[in-house]
Every structure is written in C-alpha cells, then in structure tokens.
Amino acid sequence: MSTASKTIELKRVVVTGVGIVSPIGIGTEPFLDSLLEGRSAVKLIERFDTTDFPVKIAAEICGFDPSSFMDRKWARRMDLYAQYGVSAATMALEDSAYPVDEDPYAVGALVGSGVGGLYTFYDQIGVLLEKGPARVSPFFIPMMIPNMASACSSILLGLKGPVNATCTACAAGTMALGDAFSLIRRGDATAMFAGGAEAAVNQVGMAAFAACRAISARNDEPTKASRPFAMGRDGFVMGEGAGVLVLEEMEHALRRGAHIYAEMVGYGMTADAFHLTEPDETGEPAGLAMTRALHDADVDPSEVDYVNAHGTSTPLGDVMETKAIKLSLGDHAYKVMVSSNKSMFGHCLGAAGGLEAAATILCMEAGKVPPTINLEEPDPDCDLDYVPNVARVATIEVAMSNSFGFGGHNVAIVFRRWDG
C-alpha cells in the first residue's frame, strides 16, 4: 500500500488591523502617544474601597463606554473582560476594513484570557451567598467562561471560521496570536481576529494576587511601582484591557489594497515544567521558546533589533528573562533594544500579549522604540539595553514579543517590518 504525502505550502501572514482598549489609551493613536511619552497609568484604585486591601494601586481603564462599540443589551450580557475584547475586535475590524461578508467561514476569532469573567464570578457568588441559589443569574456561566471574548466577537462581527480561546495565564494573548498565525499559514483561515482580553482589577482579583505576593505594594508611589529590571522592584502592577490584531493572509491583503502594519513571521513555545508560579531561573525554557520562534521565522539572532519584553517587574522574572534573551541571542543580546510596556500600563495578564504585540508593530511603523520607565537604578543582574525612561528613534526591521505565564508557559512571536 502506498501512502501519499501532502505538502502544505505555508502562507505569509500580515497585520492589517489593530484594536486597543488599555489603561494608557483607547484606540491606537492615544495608546501609541502614551507609550512613546512614557506615561504611567498606575494610580490609586477608584473602582472599589481599598481600605482593607494591602495593595491599593492598579492601572485601571478610565472613560470606557461599551455602548460606543456594541448594543447596550449585548453589553449587559458580557463580563467586563469580554466587553473589552469585543470593543478591541470592533476597532480592529474598522481599522482593517476587512470584508467579512466576502466569506464569513474564512475568518475567525482567537482571543485569549487568563482568568475570564472575574467580575461576574465575584458578583454572582455574592448573590448566591446573600440571596440564595434561586437568584443566581442565568447568564452567570456564559458571562464568566474565558471563551466569550472570542465567541461574542464571532457573533457580533459575523465571523464563522475558526473560533477558539487560549487560557494560558499571562501567555494567553501571545499564544492566541501564535495559534491564529498558524491557522492562516496552513490555509485554515484567511484572516483571524486575535489577541487577549482581561479585567481583573476588582476585589477578588486584587486580594488573590496580593495573597500570593505577586503584586507591588508601593502604594505611596503608584507611578513608580512598576519598575521592570530596576533595583527595588517588588512585584507587578495589575492592569486590564484588550489588544486585538487582524492577522490576514498576505496575498489576500495585497489584492484588496489593505494597509499592512507588519508581517508576522515566527512563533515558538516551551514549558518550564517547574513550578506553579515561579519561572525556571535558568531561563533555558524561555530562551528556547525565543529560539524556536526565530527558527520558525527563518531569522538569525543577529537580525533582531528589538525585544518587547514580558518584563513584569518581579524580582525573579526580570532576571530570568534577561538570561533567556542572552541564551537565545548570544552576544547579540547586548546590541538589542529591550523594553517593557508594563512599566507604563501594568501587567494586563491574558491581555498583555495582545497589547504588547500591538505596541511592537505600531512602534515598528513609527520608527521609535518605547521606553522602560522607572529605570533609574538598574539591577546589576539585568544588564541589557532596556531603553531607559525615554523613547528612542530607531529602525526596527525584526522584533520579538515575549510572554510567560503562571504554570510555566513560555511564548515568543516575531514580526518583520513591512517594506511593501
């Protein structure tokens, strides 16, 4: 018996749309302006009374109105994280002008989330305890589960192709982009709305992350609290939001004359197999994820100009990532620009990868590298070029964006500047 082999010609994938809901701005222009100005969004929490909470700071989103992006009836049936995700996807659709009606089965959604509907969970557990099971909302489950940013984007935008969701903690947004990239590259979709969404700045989210000593308690200096790669860092600052990109098969984008931000060229993953929350301090698994992404992209380490770091501002994580970059890039690591957007908008958990990928391609197009703010006194163990405090004018031909999640999930993606 003979076995016929199937050869798959891999498609090229480009970014044709960007949608952003973030603490430093809603929409691409406010977001990019804040990034390049080095503006911190971290402040004392206003959303709830923090009197009994050890951590009283976060990067909250101000001025968000879901009715600007969807019908109020739909908004009431979504948790805040899904509202963020659908709003970002709606902006990305408008930005890309993608013709969904041309073939709805060729376009899908893949929006990750680390924790899903935490607001709904908190509210409905309160209802259960105070009023009994008969008063729990019939929308509790469909509002809470972490696939609903993808599902509701599919429903409201008419996306009938592959619809999925990643739930790999703080790596979820980047993994969603990587998985969507893979779907398009092998011909299973023409376009995907991909990224991450999260809304965990509430009582249970803040109490839980404070209990595991993951977040900064620098309540007296909110704007200085997120300080990746700096001495005195004591944990990440909670953020929230959504970043969604339209990834599209290149030939399709060219035929319709779409604006192309950048080409996505590589995706790599590994696992630490080490600890529930702490990273493998050697940096080897994370470094290998980066190396796999470069290999997938057919990019030599010496070609990398910029790394958008995971850079959480945790004592262990920042040192580990520095080691990982050195392991992957070798001596070239000292010539590469590295920066952490989390210094400005905090750690948006499952949304972080989508927002940071958006930051990467927007800055590539603008010819500028965003800074790592609050880096007045670098940690001697973090000795790379972290673009301290002030944005830098630079041509970025190849950029990598890293994400690492609780449980040991390591993900890296690679973009190449679009030259037409």
Of 167, 170, 348, 363, which one is the catalytic site residue? 170
Of 252, 310, 382, 409, which one is the catalytic site residue? 310
Cα-based angle 243, 113, 402 (whole degrees, multiple of 5): 65
Q: Give the model's pLDDT for residue 8.
A: 78
- Asked if residue 383 has pLDDT above 60, the reply is yes
Over residues 243-263, mean pLDDT? 98
- Asked if residue 1 has pLDDT above 60, the reply is no
- Please tell me whether the overall predicted TM-score, pTM, comes out greater than 0.85 for this model: yes
Domains of the chain: 13-255 (3.40.47.10), 266-417 (3.40.47.10)
The residue whose two tokens read 């409905």 is 124
Are 175 and 88 within 8 A, CB to CB? no
Q: How far apart are CA 43 and CA 24, in angstroms?
A: 12
Over residues 168-194, mean pLDDT? 98
Task: Give the number of other CB atoms < 10 A from CB of residue 56.
Answer: 18
- Asked if residue 201 has pLDDT above 80, the reply is yes
At 175, the pLDDT band (50, 70, 90 cuts) reads very high
Cα-based angle 248, 242, 181 (whole degrees, multiple of 5): 25
Question: Chain-wide mean pLDDT for the chain?
Answer: 97
Q: Please confirm, yes or no, whether 363 is among the known catalytic residues.
A: no
Classified as helix, coil or strand, 48 is coil
E runs forming strands in 77-225: 107-112, 163-164, 191-198
The residue whose two tokens read 């001025």 is 63
Q: Please confirm, yes or no, whether 310 is among the known catalytic residues.
A: yes
Q: Give the model's pLDDT for residue 166.
A: 98
Cα 166 to Cα 130, 193, 296, distances in angstroms: 33, 13, 21
Percent of the chain clearing pLDDT 70 (strictly above): 99
Q: How far apart are CA 7 and CA 367, in angstroms?
A: 38
Q: How far apart are CA 225 and CA 142, in angstroms?
A: 35
Q: Please confirm, yes or no, whether 252 is among the known catalytic residues.
A: no
At 199, the pLDDT band (50, 70, 90 cuts) reads very high
Q: How far apart are CA 349 and CA 196, in angstroms?
A: 9
Q: Give the model's pLDDT for residue 256.
A: 98
Q: How far apart are CA 153 and CA 74, in angstroms?
A: 11
- Asked if residue 291 has pLDDT above 50, the reply is yes
Q: What is the pLDDT of residues 38-75, one digit of tens each?
A: 999 999 999 999 999 999 999 999 999 999 999 999 99
Q: Give the model's pLDDT for residue 107.
A: 98
Q: Tokens at residue 304, please?
A: 């990398």
Of 167, 252, 347, 382, which one is the catalytic site residue? 347
Q: How far apart are CA 368 and CA 36, in angstroms?
A: 8
At 2, the pLDDT band (50, 70, 90 cuts) reads very low
Are 90 and 70 within 8 A, CB to CB? yes
Over residues 114-143, mean pLDDT? 97
Q: Tokens at residue 394, please?
A: 């630079």
